[in-house]
């Protein structure tokens, strides 16, 4: 799964559950902790800009 696609899934998850952890992202999308953190940083930048 590409980063952009994964970030959309994370946003959808957040709409329903209100929070997500790095561990949740790792389990749900089978990615490393570094990738999960990078996704969250990118999502934060997108939301704040």
* Domain boundaries of the chain, sorted by first residue: 3-48
The two most distant CA atoms of the chain are separated, in Å, by 28
Residue-wise pLDDT tens digits, 11-37: 999 999 999 999 999 999 999 999 999
For residues 1 and 34, the model is more confident at: 34
Please check whether residue 39 is in contact with residue 7, taking contact to mean a CB–CB distance below 8 angstroms.
Answer: yes
Statement: residue 8 has pLDDT above 90: yes
Statement: residue 1 has pLDDT above 90: no
Look up the pTM and report it. Answer: 0.88
DSSP 4-18: HHHHHHHHHHHHHHS
In angstroms, rounded to a whole number, what is the distance separating the alpha carbons of residues 9 and 26? 13
């Amino acid at each position: 799964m590409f980063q952009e696609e994964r970030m959309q899934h994370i946003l959808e998850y957040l709409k329903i559950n209100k929070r997500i952890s790095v561990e949740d992202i790792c389990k749900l999308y089978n990615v490393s902790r570094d990738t999960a953190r990078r996704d969250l940083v990118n999502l934060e930048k997108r939301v704040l800009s």
